[in-house]
Structure 1
Amino acid sequence: MDKPPETRSVTGRAFAVLDTFSTKYRRQSLSSIARRAGLPLTTAHRLVHDLERESALVRGADGDYEIGRKIWDLGILASVHAELREVALPYMEDIYGLGNDAVQIAVLDGLRCLIVERIAGSRTMSVQSRPGARLPLHASGVGKVLLAYGNHDLHDAVLTSLERYTAQTITDPAKLSEQLKAVKSQGFAITDAELEEGARSVAVPVRGKGGKVIAALGVVVPSSHTDAQRMVPVLQVTSAALSRKLVEAGLGVASRLH
């Protein structure tokens, strides 16, 4: 029989805290963590503070906590995401070689998109899409692709909480809904300074078995690049080749990548 959380070692109690996070509980308040871990609030506070200091947890502006980059950095070593990165990397390098500032691939992660890999060099502007970052679906190119091809529950959840990041961020649900229809119809998404000033992104879907969208492939360039749409055909051809390779490698099922 498992020991009660309060009688476990410090390591055991730390894992009890981490175990409270799941696909249903991606963001939690301190009281929620304490309650679900079965720990006194003071004990949970101390453990959460220690985990936050080590980047295993991160505290949002609203005070709630979510899994931090340290867990991502460790988890990716044994995760199926490592396989996705390995298969996708050569294709991403080809796109980067054409002179793009950054190339990234992302998968759906709850109400956000998770950047699985990004290639960027010294010429690259400062952008938020580092590996392990979780970007808003409504304000990023890869995010809009994943949202456009998502189900109704995902749409409803995202459209009720459209946070503004820049003056260009779309926070009108009706306007975003129309844009998502266009993304799905055209097969690509383009954003301009919606997540970060001065950055434009272009993204296309990556498909798995049965044509189901399992990831998004995109580039990030300065907003001064007025011909960003020229990358759409390149991304689409590359995505088609990558999609075939992922299916051949047995990674063409969305549930394996999330």
Structure 2
Amino acid sequence: MNSSHDGNGTHEEHSRIRGHRPAHGEPLLDRAFRMLACFGPDTPVLSLTALAARADLPKATALRIARQLTEQGALERTDSGHYTIGLRLLEIATVAPRGHGLRTIALPYLQDLWHATRQHVQLVVREGLEGVLVERLSARDAPRVMYRVGGRLPLHATTPGLVLLAFAPTQVQEDFLTADHPADDDSPSATADALRPKLAAIRRDRYAVFSRPQWDTPMTGVAAPILDRNHTTVAAISVITPSEQSQPAAHIPAVVAVARAITRAMTTDTAGDPLP
């Protein structure tokens, strides 16, 4: 049997190429997602060598998976032969109800809040023990913030994250409070003793105020929960402003009102029919 093998692969790699998963090998889907996760704002285009190194995979394995992802439209080839994320992933992501679906409902309200504040307005959902930024509207002259749309953010060290954690199921809270979190200056108040009273106050007030003095420009945020028809918190919205300009008390009524408006909109679609 003729083979295109270059002489560097192992028997295990040959079995993978023939479609047989090795007895103790990492699932193909896990490796594929690890490769896709290598791309980001600072690395939108990667060579095969860089992709293999970042995903910690043999180059032959990375090539085989990259070809399959390209065939499915999850990756695309550039003119230079490098790889970038394909439009097929965007097409699939647009039907995610907690992503694009939620964003579609919330966006008009977020725009109103942005016009009223001219600061960073964020929409965040919880994914496991992290938050995911679904949408952000920012003024051109607003100070830079760390998190990008689609990026993950810590629950305990961001204003919308604290709201999502405060209204998360009890088991999720306990899992978070008992987990180890990096102890650094950018992630304050990570201990359970510090967080429990803070979360209780957020549940009582139904909003959160939180400052990040560690950033180049210290920032202060106000956030409130968005609920679905079952009164379950599905997202949080926040307004983030420079701390020196911040007047949290002035933003609290607007943020709470917009969160409630989005909550009402979550129960019906544009035709007035209940959402599935």
State the TM-score, normalizing by the size of structure 1. 0.70
1:231-242 matches, within 5 Å, as 231-242=251-262
List per-residue Cα deviations over 1:155-178 (Å, max 9, x = no partner).
Answer: 122222233453671122101111
Q: Which runs of 5+ in 2 are unaligned?
A: 1-14, 20-26, 36-56, 75-84
Is the alpha carbon distance of 1:226 and 1:121 closer, same or farther for their aligned partners in structure 2, counting shifts above 3 Å? closer
Distance verdict in 2 for CA 1:6–1:126, change over 3 Å: same
Relative distance call for 1:18 and 1:47 in structure 2 (3 A) is same
CA contact 2:32–2:65 (8 Å) conserved in 1 = no
1:84 to 94, 102, 107: 102
Which residue of structure 1 lines up, in the alignment, with residue 209 of structure 2? 190
Q: After TM superposition, list the pairs within 5 Å mapping 1:129-140 onto structure 2.
A: 129-140=147-158
Q: Structure 1 86/152 Cα, relative in aligned 2: closer, same or farther at 3 Å?
A: same
CA contact (8 A) 1:137 1:147 kept: yes
**CA contact 1:183–1:189 (8 Å) conserved in 2:** yes
Q: Which residue of 1 aligns with 2:245?
A: 225
- Structure 1 residues 15 and 219, CA, compared in 2 at 3 Å: closer, same or farther? same
Q: Which residue of the other structure, out of 10, 32, 36, is the alignment partner of 1:18?
A: 32
What amino acid is aligned across from residue 18 of structure 1 in structure 2? A
Assess if the C-alpha contact under 8 Å between 2:131 and 2:155 holds in 1.
Answer: yes
**Distance change (3 Å), C-alpha of 1:20 and 1:118:** closer
Aligned pairs, number: 214
Q: Which has the higher contact order (CA 8 A, sep 6+)?
A: 1
CA contact (8 A) 1:168 1:192 kept: no
Match status 1:110 vs 2:128: yes
1:244 matched to which residue of 2? 264
Structure 2 match to 1:171: 190
Distance of aligned partners of 1:72 and 1:172 in 2 relative to their CA distance in 1, 3 Å threshold: farther
Superposition deviation, residue 226 in structure 1 = 3.9
Cα shift at 1:77 = 2.9
SS at match of 2:266: helix
Aligned partners of 2:224 and 2:238 also within 8 Å: yes
> Cα–Cα, structure 1 residues 195 and 50, in superposed 2: closer, same or farther, change >3 Å?
farther
1:7 aligned partner: 18
Structure 1: distance between partners of 2:235 and 2:103: 11
User: CA RMSD for the aligned pairs?
Assistant: 3.6
Question: Residues of 1 paired with 2:115 and 2:172: CA distance?
Answer: 35
Tell me, yes or no, if the aligned pair for 1:14 and 1:47 is still in contact at 8 Å.
no
Closer, same or farther: CA 43–169 of 1 in aligned 2, 3 Å: same
Change (3 A) 1:72 1:227: farther
Corresponding residue for residue 180 of structure 1: 199
Report the Cα offset of residue 223 of structure 1: 1.3
- Deviation at residue 126 of structure 1 after TM alignment: 0.8
- How far apart are the structure 1 equivalents of 2:86 and 2:133? 12
**Structure 2 letter corresponding to 1:214:** V
Q: Do the aligned partners of residues 123 and 206 (structure 1) sit closer, same or farther apart at CA in structure 2, a change above 3 Å counting? A: same
Q: CA deviation at 1:73?
A: 5.0
| TM-score normalised by structure 2 residue count | 0.66
The superposition leaves residues 73-126 of structure 1 with CA deviations (integer Å, 9 ceiling, x where unpaired) of 564333222121111111011111113420011111111011111101211211
- Give SS of 2:230's match: helix
Q: 1:239 to 1:15 in 2, by over 3 A?
A: same
TM-superposed CA distance for 1:43, in Å, is 6.3
- Percent identity, aligned pairs only, is 23
